Chains A and B, each alone.
Chain A
């Protein structure tokens, strides 16, 4: 299992980085032929940055659209960030003190994480409009996330693997050395699902993460009068 997960994680990390890198390059290098910000839009760059931050951190448009989706989606993402931050301990030999200070919150965040994911899943089943637009992959994605979160939570609560050994294993991987991974079924499951998630990241709707920053309706300024939009015909010109 040591070697299997080592190979799997190296491979997944490579696919994820290269895949995402390629996608970001593609977004960046595809020309934006016209100015299409959704107005009212800010007319300056700082304004655009602010608008983007409101979308990325607060999900502002979603808030306007639908309070249920907003609360489920926002709490899910916020919890995910807290939980992921906690995972830094597995990649640093001497993790920073704030990570430990965050620990109690991160542990608590596992619950809203699972609750919100289940809520989103429930909506997908119950609301006729959302059921209609869902593909199998949309359900599968939620099942995966729930399985990852649940396996993590169960480990934390009832069946802890040797955390120190896990830390040794991953810090080792970062230094290209192979340490033993604890023999622990739930851990294996958790890691396997994560590997899979990393692998599909650049090929799935998870691309919304880099995508939002390139969305011309949000990232263009409303200043066509002062700064006419003249994309050159080359692929490498942006905003103009």
Chain B
């Protein structure tokens, strides 16, 4: 199942809607889950006997348990409004990547087995009239392939007259596949690591401790100030939950340094937790409520164990969605936290608030080497909010960037805010075995970025999603851009911040020095 040869799409001025090229992305799909990971998650280790009937039954169950799914499956009128809205379709031209066609892979089976019309017409042999589809091996293959070419970004939902959310169908399909023994390697592996070690990367506590100490030294070397990055400090006020990539990946770690500086300056005590050393929740990606709950409960337990008053999430797109909209439902109530702070908070809300109250000394000229644009991560943009103000998820990050950088430029209107294009690697697709999908899916975002680079001299793109950052640092070079263009939002903050007592000159010397780690 090695990656096949493919051509990287060319960047044009506009995001073109291609003519359909049926089956152009007919691939084997991502690597299948290993049996031990399937078992850790409570799924059968391989494709079970009688999987057809089991899948059909699971489908009925899923629909009975989700109003959304039921309404979405019934309501589509095939108007076609969503057909040119998915980045995977725009980048690959495979018609099964059109959101409605992706839904139909599920809907056609549902219609045949679970609707009166489908059952009646099937008896007459006429179910083809309504697109009825038997559950068979080639359907399963299509499911596995095309439901792993959806990043669950919900861009299609924004344009559907009934708000039909393809990601809900993708999640349901992935969950059904897991239940009949066909899981995805990447996501199940990651979830298993969270169960066993506490984070997606399997970083054990000692390694975490080491990393944090290394970062403390880095910050001290850079600023002359000792900033503590506490781990498991009982009695701290704030529990900071960051995506584990923040501990070591580039450019994530620079963002983490940014959080640390901000928290340090706030004067409020804070801590990481080795138990909840992961903000991400891949249970969402595979549509499995049990895994989602298990992962979410770790955060609750850590917060109780450490006796914190507030929980703050680092820069992670879907983690924020889960934190904002799901966490109470999964692991609440969080009534042991301080009532004065919305539960939980985003690090951007925290930083924004400090900036507003003039509690941070910022020197935006330190970012004068950059002209910055901002990538709205879809899970933040379309599935959450910040600050309790309408559109706060768009304005707060931008306000922060503008406070720490002198040059800020937005990308084209139809590619930002609620209309933002996914980076191409979200929703459990950030794995090398899906490289072709990731490259093609990034085309719309790369087009928009390339335009502001050429027309407005943009040099950097900030993001607040760990997956986006990893995806972009891989994909930018593929499209002929520099991988260092992608920066963490809090990296910009960290650069502009002048810590209390910090001598300005020390910073200048170190600024261009290459930092390992």
Query: Considering the chains assembled together, what is the distance between the CA atoms of A27 and B71 in angstroms?
Result: 7
A61-B159, A66-B80, A133-B100 in contact; A30/B328 too (CB < 8 A)? no
Decide yes or no whether A127 CB sits under 8 A from chain B.
Answer: yes
Query: Considering the chains assembled together, what is the distance between the CA atoms of A222 and B390 in angstroms?
Result: 9
B329 touches A62 (CB 8 A): no
Of the listed stretches B82-90, B256-264, B297-305, name the one at the interface; the rest are far from the partner chain: B82-90
Decide yes or no whether A196 CB sits under 8 A from chain B.
Answer: no
Q: Mark A24-54 against chain B: 1 for CB-CB distance below 8 A, else 0.
A: 0011001111111011101100000000000
A39 touches B388 (CB 8 A): no
B343: A residues at CB distance < 8 A: 225
Decide yes or no whether A94 CB sits under 8 A from chain B.
Answer: no
A211 touches B78 (CB 8 A): no
Smallest beta-carbon distance B379→chain A, Å: 10
Query: Considering the chains assembled together, what is the distance between the CA atoms of A42 and B326 in angstroms?
Result: 18
Q: Which residues of chain A from 205 to 227 have any CB-CB distance to chain B below 8 Å in the complex? A: 205, 207-208, 211-212, 214-218, 222, 224-225
A23 touches B74 (CB 8 A): yes
How many A-B pairs fall under 8 Å by CB? 197
Decide yes or no whether B1 CB sits under 8 A from chain A.
Answer: no
A36-B383, A129-B83, A135-B78 in contact; A31/B117 too (CB < 8 A)? no
A40-B393, A211-B71 in contact; A231/B76 too (CB < 8 A)? no
Query: Considering the chains assembled together, what is the distance between the CA atoms of A135 and B383 in angstroms?
Result: 32
B161 touches A55 (CB 8 A): yes
Decide yes or no whether A230 CB sits under 8 A from chain B.
Answer: yes
Query: Considering the chains assembled together, what is the distance between the CA atoms of A69 and B84 in angstroms?
Result: 13
Q: Which residues of chain B from 369 to 409 have any CB-CB distance to chain A below 8 Å in the complex? A: 381-385, 388, 390-391, 393-394
Query: Considering the chains assembled together, what is the distance between the CA atoms of A66 and B80 in angstroms?
Result: 9
A123 touches B80 (CB 8 A): yes
Contact of B83 among A130, A203, A215 (CB under 8 A): A130
A211: B residues at CB distance < 8 A: 71, 74-75, 162
B101: A residues at CB distance < 8 A: 132-133
B76: A residues at CB distance < 8 A: 205, 208
Q: Mark B157-183 against chain A: 1 for CB-CB distance below 8 A, else 0.
A: 111111111001000000000000000
Q: Which residues of chain B from 58 to 81 have any CB-CB distance to chain A below 8 Å in the complex? A: 63-68, 70-72, 74-81
A101: B residues at CB distance < 8 A: none
Query: Considering the chains assembled together, what is the distance between the CA atoms of A230 and B391 in angstroms?
Result: 25
A40-B418, A64-B159, A212-B161 in contact; A34/B78 too (CB < 8 A)? no
Query: Considering the chains assembled together, what is the distance between the CA atoms of A133 and B96 in angstroms?
Result: 9
Contact of B326 among A35, A212, A238 (CB under 8 A): A35
A31-B65, A39-B393 in contact; A130/B324 too (CB < 8 A)? no
Smallest beta-carbon distance B71→chain A, Å: 5
Query: Considering the chains assembled together, what is the distance between the CA atoms of A238 and B83 in angstroms?
Result: 31
B65: A residues at CB distance < 8 A: 30-31, 33
Query: Considering the chains assembled together, what is the distance between the CA atoms of A138 and B128 in angstroms?
Result: 12
Decide yes or no whether B235 CB sits under 8 A from chain A.
Answer: no
Decide yes or no whether B501 CB sits under 8 A from chain A.
Answer: no
B66 touches A31 (CB 8 A): yes
B382: A residues at CB distance < 8 A: 38-39
Query: Considering the chains assembled together, what is the distance between the CA atoms of A224 and B385 in angstroms?
Result: 10
Contact of A130 among B78, B117, B154, B342 (CB under 8 A): B78
A217 touches B332 (CB 8 A): no
B383 touches A134 (CB 8 A): no
Query: Considering the chains assembled together, what is the distance between the CA atoms of A214 and B75 in angstroms?
Result: 10
Query: Considering the chains assembled together, what is the distance between the CA atoms of A222 and B385 in angstroms?
Result: 8
Query: Considering the chains assembled together, what is the distance between the CA atoms of A230 and B325 in angstroms?
Result: 11
Decide yes or no whether B189 CB sits under 8 A from chain A.
Answer: no
A137 touches B130 (CB 8 A): yes
Contact of B390 among A43, A62, A137, A230 (CB under 8 A): A43
A128 touches B20 (CB 8 A): yes
A207 touches B74 (CB 8 A): yes
A62 touches B67 (CB 8 A): no
Q: Which residues of chain A from 165 to 206 have any CB-CB distance to chain B below 8 Å in the complex? A: 200, 203-205
B75 touches A134 (CB 8 A): no
A69: B residues at CB distance < 8 A: 79-81
B328 touches A230 (CB 8 A): yes
The closest CB in chain B to the CB of A200 belongs to B117
Q: Which residues of chain B from 38 to 65 have any CB-CB distance to chain A below 8 Å in the complex? A: 63-65
Q: Mark B308-336 against chain A: 1 for CB-CB distance below 8 A, else 0.
A: 00000000000000001110110011000
A140 touches B67 (CB 8 A): no
Decide yes or no whether A59 CB sits under 8 A from chain B.
Answer: yes
Decide yes or no whether B19 CB sits under 8 A from chain A.
Answer: yes
A27-B71, A32-B67, A228-B329 in contact; A129/B84 too (CB < 8 A)? yes
B78: A residues at CB distance < 8 A: 130, 133-135, 138, 205
A64: B residues at CB distance < 8 A: 158-159
Smallest beta-carbon distance B320→chain A, Å: 11
Decide yes or no whether B115 CB sits under 8 A from chain A.
Answer: yes
Query: Considering the chains assembled together, what is the distance between the CA atoms of A134 and B108 in angstroms?
Result: 12
Contact of A73 among B79, B131, B164, B390 (CB under 8 A): B79
Which residue among B85, B130, B159, B325 has the maximum number of chain A CB atoms within 10 Å of its CB? Answer: B325
A62 touches B74 (CB 8 A): no
Decide yes or no whether B104 CB sits under 8 A from chain A.
Answer: yes
B165: A residues at CB distance < 8 A: 36, 38, 216-217
The closest CB in chain B to the CB of A219 belongs to B163
A138: B residues at CB distance < 8 A: 78
A208-B76, A211-B162 in contact; A224/B328 too (CB < 8 A)? yes
Task: In the A-B complex, list the 3 residue pairs whose CB atoms are closest, starting with the nearest.
Answer: A211-B75, A65-B159, A217-B163
Binding site for B on A (CB under 8 A): 23, 26-27, 30-36, 38-40, 42-43, 55, 59, 61-62, 64-66, 69, 73, 123, 127-130, 132-138, 140, 200, 203-205, 207-208, 211-212, 214-218, 222, 224-225, 228-231, 238
Interchain residue pairs with CB less than 8 A apart (16): A34-B329, A38-B154, A61-B163, A62-B79, A62-B159, A64-B159, A65-B81, A130-B78, A135-B78, A205-B76, A212-B75, A217-B68, A218-B163, A224-B328, A228-B329, A229-B329
